[in-house]
């Protein structure tokens, strides 16, 4: 016999699922987004689950001991929206609140760096050994290292990070 309050909570749970929660999904008509790290980072491949942890601030160190430095694009950039949807499963407002809360509770070491251009992201990742960021795959150059996500490179079948074509 379930106590009445618990039944009420379960009922609310069922209601909350109506309509379905927004889920991160890779749009078919999208341009692949590459995850880039510093060339000295020993990592060359990462799972989507680990990538989520990194971008949520739940990973503070790389395997070489370097501190993880997150690089985000500025608010409004399609790349940022794609990452916030794809990795955090949130929208912009929720993302800000969630990350601030993570910093507030001490779970995340610090807020991400915000840069306003693709070149800026590439230069930052090039200059900061522990940096990780994202750019459109066509913008990746030799100054940074592109990570395989779940064993796939941008553009390969099954790759799940992309910017919806405008």
Q: How far is CA 159 from CA 25, 70, 103, 137, in A?
A: 11, 21, 30, 12
Total H helices, total E strands in the chain = 5, 8
Q: Count residues near other proteins (CB under 8 A).
A: 52
Compare residues 78 and 89 and give the one whose CB is closer to other proteins: 89
Residue choice 29, 104, 142, 157 for contact with other proteins (CB under 8 A): 104
What's the helix, strand, coil split of the chain in %, to 5?
Answer: 35, 20, 45
Please report how close the Cβ of residue 147 comes to other proteins at its closest, in angstroms: 17
CB 68 within 8 A of CB 62: yes
Residue 100, Cβ neighbours under 10 Å: how many? 12
In angstroms, give the least distance from the CB of 8 to other proteins.
Answer: 6
Token pair for 69: 């430095």
Name which of residues 146 to 165 contact other proteins (CB under 8 A).
none
Pick out residues in 46-85 that bind other proteins (CB under 8 A): 47, 49, 52-53, 59-61, 65, 67, 69
- CB neighbours (10 Å) of residue 111? 14
Name which position in 16, 28, 29, 166 contacts other proteins (CB under 8 A). Answer: 16
Residues binding other proteins (CB under 8 A): 5-6, 8-9, 12-13, 15-17, 21-22, 47, 49, 52-53, 59-61, 65, 67, 69, 88-94, 96-97, 100-101, 103-106, 109-111, 113, 115-117, 119-121, 123-124, 126-128, 131
């Amino acid at each position: 016999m379930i106590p009445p309050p618990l039944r009420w909570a379960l009922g609310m749970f069922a209601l909350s699922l109506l309509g379905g929660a927004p889920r991160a999904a890779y749009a078919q008509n999208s341009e692949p987004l590459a995850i880039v790290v510093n060339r000295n980072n020993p990592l060359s491949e990462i799972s989507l689950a680990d990538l989520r942890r990194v971008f949520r601030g739940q990973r503070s160190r790389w395997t070489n001991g370097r501190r993880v430095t997150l690089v985000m694009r500025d608010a409004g950039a399609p790349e940022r929206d794609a990452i916030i949807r794809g990795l955090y499963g949130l929208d912009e407002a929720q993302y800000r609140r969630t990350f601030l809360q993570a910093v507030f509770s001490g779970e995340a070491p610090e807020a991400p760096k915000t840069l306003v251009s693709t070149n800026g992201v590439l230069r930052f990742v090039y200059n900061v050994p522990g940096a990780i960021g994202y750019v459109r795959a066509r913008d990746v150059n030799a100054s940074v290292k592109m990570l395989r996500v779940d064993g796939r490179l941008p553009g390969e079948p099954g790759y799940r990070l992309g910017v919806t074509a405008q």
